[in-house]
Amino acid sequence: MTKLNRRQTMALLGAAAATPMAPAILRAQDKPAGLPDTMIWSTYDVGSTGYVEATAIADAMIKNYGTRVRLLPSGSGVGRIIPLKQGQANTAWLANELFFATRGIFDFANADWGPQNMRTICGRPASFGIAVTAESGIESIEQLKGKRFAYAAANPSVAIKVDTMLASKGLSRADVEVIEFPSYGDTLKSLNQGQADAVGSALTSAALTELEASPRGIRWLPFDPDDAQAWENMNKIAPIFSPYKETIGVGVTGKDPVDVVAYKYPMVTVMHDADPEMTYAFLKALDESYPGYKDAAPIMERWGIKDSGSTPMDAPLHEGAIRYLQEIGQWTDKQQAWNDRSVAEIEALVAAWPDFLAANKGLGEAEFAAAWDEARAKATASL
């Protein structure tokens, strides 16, 4: 999760402060059949990019269709998913906690949770890369072997991105010197302070501007979009990334773009048995409302349907969303194959969970999680 600066946040939130549950004054177009009159969206905390983006989109939907939207912010992944699971929210706007929840790992590797059968409607692409200092001479992932890599304690969302990127070239944490810091913010400062040689980060992280301006400088390690073996290696760990040419970020411009990876944040998420008419109508409304929110901030143009309606994501797309993408000619055989594989994986895990839980109730937390890792591998081995 990234934070907007105060000026950006106030500009976007100021006009929309009364957006949740506010009635529409004008209705620009007919509401898609299936779009509720009132909706509740579970989102990231106030001030986060996810909350601001949801606010801008909610405001556009209110003006277009009269649909009243209430945002329900939470500071934790579990806190964002609970209202959706309990039927108190129509959608949850999630990040990598969706990957963890659908696989029953990290916070969800316990008897109260386990794998969750969830689907996505859409998701905005966000770029992520590995940063080093320009003075280091490191120019490729392979050259990270033996180097100091900054990891944040108890931050699986960032860790899984870094682990996956290292794996693209056959590396793991065992091949680097892991330097653990208390927080994600501390990892971003570590390069400029000479405490680490590499860090994983969103390219727009403001904390890296100090490094860019310093004598050390900043360099983003490239990810070749055409390296089939590298992407195959990554997909074995987490099939949620795609190639991305970033033109916005610290040390990056339109004249000097960099090839990195994209994941989706936030992803508009529902349970697998959500009403297909609602998910179809939601995506149609989001697409039709695009002119009303695309200029709210530079990042908002990435909600365009060609970007936000694409795979991969942290969970498969819902059937209603797929139907809309098919209607507008934006659903390919390749996407369907990816979606089918993702559905099969999650449903295999959901099916394996009851027997696993019955056989492992007495285990401690760490033992339970380790045993589930083994069971997950067995459940999906034939897929």
pLDDT at 17: 38
Residues 247-269 have a mean pLDDT of: 93
pLDDT band at 256 (very low <50, low <70, confident <90, very high): confident
pLDDT per residue as tens digits for the range 139-181 = 999 999 999 999 999 899 999 999 999 999 999 999 999 999 9
Q: In the predicted model, is pLDDT for residue 20 greater than 60?
A: no
Would the CATH topology of 6-125+265-345 be identical to that of 128-262? Answer: yes
Fold category of 128-262 in CATH = D-Maltodextrin-Binding Protein; domain 2 (3.40.190)
Q: In the predicted model, is pLDDT for residue 107 greater than 90?
A: yes
pLDDT per residue as tens digits for the range 211-243 = 999 999 999 999 999 999 999 999 999 999 999
Residues 305-309 have a mean pLDDT of: 97
Across the chain, the runs of DSSP E, i.e. the strands, are: 38-43, 68-73, 91-94, 118-132, 148-152, 177-181, 198-202, 219-220, 242-246, 258-271
* Angle of CA points 372, 378, 380, to nearest 5°: 100
CA distance 5 to 9: 6
pLDDT at 12: 40
Write the burial class of residue 228 (CB in 10 Å: 0-12 exposed, 13-18 middle, 19+ buried): exposed
Q: Give the CATH number of domain 6-125+265-345; options: 3.40.50.1470, 3.30.450.80, 1.10.3470.10, 3.40.190.10.
A: 3.40.190.10
pLDDT per residue as tens digits for the range 315-338 = 999 999 999 999 999 999 999 999
Q: In the predicted model, is pLDDT for residue 8 greater than 50?
A: no
pLDDT band at 5 (very low <50, low <70, confident <90, very high): very low
Domain ranges of the chain: 6-125+265-345, 128-262
Residues 182-205 have a mean pLDDT of: 95
CA distance 240 to 77: 18
Q: Which residue has the higher pLDDT, 12 or 153?
A: 153
pLDDT band at 298 (very low <50, low <70, confident <90, very high): confident
pLDDT at 184: 93
CA distance 71 to 20: 6
Side chain identity at residue 314, one-letter code = D
The β-bridge relationship of strands 68-73 and 38-43 is parallel
CA distance 122 to 269: 8
What percentage of residues in the chain have a pLDDT greater than 90?
Answer: 87
Quote the mean pLDDT of the chain.
92
Write the burial class of residue 115 (CB in 10 Å: 0-12 exposed, 13-18 middle, 19+ buried): buried
